[in-house]
Amino acid sequence: MSTIKSFSVGNGDMFYIDHNSPNFTIIDCCLNEDRMDEILNEISTRTGNKEITRVISTHPDEDHICGLDFLDDKINILNFYCVKNNATKADETDSFDRYCELRDSTKAFHISKGCTRRWMNQKDDTRRASGIHILWPDPSNKYFKAALRDAENGESPNNISPIIKYTLQEGATALWMGDLETDFMKAIESEIDVPKVTILFAPHHGRDTGRIPSSMLKKMAPEIIVVGEAPSEHLHYYPDCNTITQNSAGDIVFYCDTGKVHIFTSKDYKVDFLDDESMTYGDYFYVGTLNL
């Protein structure tokens, strides 16, 4: 079993995977003043008995790295995963400075399509793998190279975002796509082995500008799409799919077990596509169970 948590942090992204093993994975960082202490304390408690904690940063926009310096100071990041890049910013922040420091340090592991690493997706005699695989980027791809150049020139780094797949053995598959934009996804679709997905975190916070092309969505056939916290007028709600909208749900917890996912939210939230197995998770509201 494992726990995936999507934090409600406003216009930003922050997730973790508690692998129910010596591994713990944080994807992106967005710590606003209202929730910073609460989230840092939760992560510190969760990682306290872990042997391997990795932070995967999809790209260095402020809504994905805000408070990274505070997170690093709190847990001492030793494994920092990002695509190899030389992104620059006209207005540098403490968060971006820390991103660059980690990106360019010996703590960095530069992820790319098909990369392997012990305990991320390779096991050994001491620890199991975490079930994390990188489906994109291909560093030799011309569209990705163009995105890298844009980021290096201080333009948007959205399209340097990786595609990250997490799979629990005999359980759910979750997918993160950072802030990839629709036109870019269309350009690279033929280069990606698009998987079947249980939980899809909609790219670009669910914005219409990050709407997943219909051909890709058909291959993924997601059981649930999590639509992020962009302003409602900018959201694409994927009307033909089962969705959970984080604006209304608050924090979302996916408790993944063999053959099923129990779903909980910090706000009272109702859907009609889940089974009722009367589960509890602290003081969170039980939304229902997805049987795979």
Domain covering 2-291, topology: Metallo-beta-lactamase; Chain A (3.60.15)
Provide mean pLDDT across the span 190-202.
Answer: 97
Please give the average per-residue pLDDT across 82-93, as a whole number: 96
- pLDDT of 270: 98
pLDDT for residue 126: 87
Asked whether residue 20 carries a pLDDT value surpassing 90, the answer given is no
Q: Which sequence spans correspond to the domains of the chain?
A: 2-291
Phi, psi of 62 (to 5 degrees): -60, -35
CB 99 within 8 A of CB 65: yes
Lookup: tokens for 178: 């950072």
51 token code pair: 């042997």
CB neighbour list of residue 66: distance below 8 Å, 6 or more residues apart: 12, 29, 30, 31, 32, 93, 95
- The structure's pTM equals 0.97
**178 Rama sector, left if φ>0, alpha if ψ -120 to 50, beta otherwise:** left
pLDDT digits (tens, 9 = 90+) for 211-250: 999 999 999 999 999 999 988 899 999 999 999 999 999 9
Q: For 37-51, write each residue's pLDDT tens digit.
A: 999 999 999 999 999
Mean pLDDT along residues 10-35: 95
Are 7 and 29 in contact by the 8 Å Cβ rule? The answer is: no
